[in-house]
Amino acid sequence: MTMAKTKITVNNNGSLRVEGDFEIVDKNGNTYGLGGRELVSLCRCGLSKNKPFCDGAHKGHLEHEAVAFDLPPKK
């Protein structure tokens, strides 16, 4: 069995872009209806009126330069 291929991009000063084969569920395990989309943007700033999805409300309110780094090894 192969795992689904999903790519998550951390955007500068903005959302998390999720693309590929994925599903998004709420805390109770209920699936969000994505209308056939294979790409969505998730809110990181908490200001979206469409949470967990991004609506662009972060503009001018979120400063983060997305630069990849390595986490320390798991303990």
Write down the domain spans for the chain.
Answer: 1-63
Looking from the CA of 75 toward its CB, the CA atoms found within 13 Å total: 0
CA terminus-to-terminus distance, the chain = 27
Instruction: Give the pLDDT confidence score for residue 1 in this predicted structure.
Output: 56
Distances (CA, A) of 55 to 15, 40, 49, 51, 68: 9, 11, 7, 8, 24
In this predicted model, what pLDDT tens digit does every residue of 36-50 receive, in sequence order?
A: 999 999 999 999 999
Q: Mean per-residue pLDDT for 42-67?
A: 95
Listed residue (50, 43, 36, 35) closest to 17, CA to CA: 43
Mean pLDDT, all residues of the chain: 94
Give the pLDDT band of residue 57 (cuts 50, 70, 90). very high
Instruction: Give the pLDDT confidence score for residue 50 in this predicted structure.
Output: 96
| pLDDT surpassing 90 at residue 55 | yes
